[in-house]
Amino acid sequence: MLNKFGPSGHGEAQVQYLDGDFRVISPGTFVRCAITDVRIPLDELKYWSVDLQEAYATPTAVLQRHHPGVVKPQA
């Protein structure tokens, strides 16, 4: 669920990642994957770390963060 407060901004959003949800702190249309730096539209954001407070574009990016060396980076 998306917790937006105020108008939608353009550019990168600042987000607080919660258990099963996230809160938009500063409006924007996307966040960046912590591993690949790919833009993730907020309405497509599915993967993040509450402990590390970062977003991931794919399940592979999650594995790369938590198990480096086990998963080879995508080309």
Which tens digits make up the pLDDT trace of 42-65? 999 999 999 999 999 999 999 999
What is residue 69's predicted lDDT score, i.e. its pLDDT? Answer: 83
For residue 74, being part of any structural domain is answered with: no
Q: Pairing relation of β-strands 2-3 and 21-26?
A: parallel
For residue 71, being part of any structural domain is answered with: no
> Structurally, how many domains does the chain consist of?
1
Tokens (6 digits) for 7? 């108008």
What lies within 8 Å, CB to CB, of 5 at 6+ separation is 24, 27
What is residue 53's predicted lDDT score, i.e. its pLDDT? Answer: 98
Phi, psi of 59 (to 5 degrees): -60, -35
Residue 48 lies in domain:
2-66
For residue 75, being part of any structural domain is answered with: no
